[in-house]
Amino acid sequence: MTSNHPPAAVLESLVAPKIDRVDLVTVKLPFVAPFGTSVYVWTDKEAMLMRIESGGVDAWSECVSDPDPFYFYETNGTARHIIKDFLLPLVEPGMTMGELETRFRRVRGHGMAKATVENGLLILIALQKGLSLHDLMGRPGKKIPSGISIGLKESPAELLAAVEKAVAKKYGRVKMKIKKGQDVEWVRAVRERFPDLRFMVDANGDYALSDLPLLKELDAFGLMMVEQPLSYSDIFEHAALQREMKTAICLDESIHSLADAAAAIALESCRIINIKQGRVGGLMESMRIAAYCADRGIDVWSGGMDETGIGRSVNIHLQTAQGFSLPGDTSETSNYFDEDIAEPAVVLDPDGFIDIPRGPGIGVRVVPERVLKRAIGWERLR
């Protein structure tokens, strides 16, 4: 099926327009509360945004890297370097997006940098055609299920309060971060209070195979999955762990491409994959991975990187693609920021679903005054 209908073919055939101007703008938005994980605690979102102008139309995209390499090897600094010195010089008017992607392959890795340029061009093309991004992808609109990622908390009481709030909002599933020493008993507390909750955990690679007895204890809690329990770069040992665990393993950090997904599936390293469009190099590779997984009975969902309204909207549109079978990390804007740089904010409807932002492109408007207020760096590249 996928061979007759390559899932990203409709995007691959689009032609890149002539670009008049490109800017990188870095904004720093304070989080409403610190976001704690096993690898770092972030207190604000430092997001590098790209603005591409063509024939009087301007498109914004967002690089999902952080200023630090604690979740992923790319940083805003490396992404800027790769975009400026290697990717943008490869972009020529008249080339198809498929050709662009082929040229980009010469640069090894750096998917977050690649996604910033690729998504920016796709959003620009959508705007010029007057189409929403999901229409450009050839996908019908639908209500998008919500999911929330709750960071590490200071106490079980604080954790329970956060879960309670999420349950009241009708989030489609709740994920909590775990780390060594803050796991089984915290999970038990949530499960005892919310026996029917669609519930999962994310370790961001904090455990080793030698922690097998502890990880197996998680099987008692009816979790939807345990995300990235072992090292950020591992696929092989996750297969050994999955053989020993009842709970489905979901890979996040380890999956950078369709080839990685194929390896993980062949090795039976996971039963679920978290697709972050930035981490895998953009919308086209995301669509390929999702369809490939769907054909093999592997569930996928869209992860998040605490994006501003720009990246958040891209993630929402992506979830119309074939294969996105589970709620992702797509939560309300107010979960992160008092004031985003784009509007309208993402909100849940009374059933816990999200409407795709309406209108051409990603459907959200970047508010220039808010960008200016939050900008900590601005550079014209072209």
Chain residues that interact with Mg ion, rule: CB under 5 A: 202, 227, 252
Verify whether residue 177 is a known catalytic residue: yes
**Which of the ranges 93-101, 116-124, 298-306, 342-350 carries the binding residues for ligand OSB, by CB under 6 A?**
298-306
Beta-strand pair 148-150/174-177? parallel
Contacting ligand OSB (CB under 6 A), which of 329, 342, 364, 370?
A: 329
304 binds, among Mg ion, ligand OSB, none (CB under 5 to 8 A by kind): ligand OSB
CA distance linking residue 348 with residue 366, whole number of Å: 20
Q: Applying CB under 6 A, what is the total number of residues that bind ligand OSB?
A: 11
CA distance linking residue 20 with residue 55, whole number of Å: 7
CA distance linking residue 359 with residue 349, whole number of Å: 19
User: Which amino acid, 106?
Assistant: R
Per-residue x/- track, 67-106, ligand OSB (CB under 6 A):
----x-----------------------------------
Per-residue x/- track, 179-218, ligand OSB (CB under 6 A):
-----------------------x-x--------------
Instruction: Please tell me which residue in 45, 114, 179, 276 is annotated as part of the active site.
Output: 276
Verify whether residue 143 is a known catalytic residue: no
Interface of this chain with ligand OSB, residues 136 to 175, rule: CB under 6 A: 149
Q: Which of 182, 186, 274 is nearest to 226 (CA)?
A: 274
CA distance linking residue 360 with residue 354, whole number of Å: 18
- Write down the residue that tokens 């705007």 correspond to: 127
CB of 359 to ligand OSB, least distance (A): 23
First to last CA, the chain: 41
Residue among 205 and 360 whose Cβ is closer to ligand OSB: 205
Q: Are 7 and 287 in contact (CB under 8 A)?
A: yes
Contacting ligand OSB (CB under 6 A), which of 256, 306, 348, 361?
A: 306
352 binds, among Mg ion, ligand OSB, none (CB under 5 to 8 A by kind): none
CA distance linking residue 57 with residue 55, whole number of Å: 6
Residue among 58 and 252 whose Cβ is closer to Mg ion: 252
**Which of the ranges 103-111, 165-173, 254-262, 297-305 carries the binding residues for ligand OSB, by CB under 6 A?**
297-305
Residue among 7 and 309 whose Cβ is closer to ligand OSB: 309
- Give the CB-nearest residue to ligand OSB: 304
- Give the CB-nearest residue to Mg ion: 252
CB of 64 to ligand OSB, least distance (A): 9
Q: Are 246 and 220 in contact (CB under 8 A)?
A: no
Helix (H, G, I), strand (E, B) or coil at 223: coil
Q: Which of 25, 31, 10 is nearest to 340 (CA)?
A: 31
Residue 252 structure tokens: 């996040």
305 makes contact with ligand OSB (CB under 6 A)? yes
Give 190: exposed, middle or buried? Use CB within 10 Å, 0-12, 13-18, 19+. Answer: buried
CA distance linking residue 121 with residue 312, whole number of Å: 17
Instruction: Please tell me which residue in 114, 153, 177, 179 is annotated as part of the active site.
Output: 177
Residue 31: CA atoms inside 13 Å, Cβ hemisphere, count? Answer: 17
Residue among 40 and 236 whose Cβ is closer to ligand OSB: 40
Q: Which of 239, 299, 228, 232 is nearest to 268 (CA)?
A: 239
- Which sequence positions are flagged as catalytic? 177, 276
Binding site for ligand OSB (CB under 6 A): 71, 149, 202, 204, 252, 303-306, 329, 331
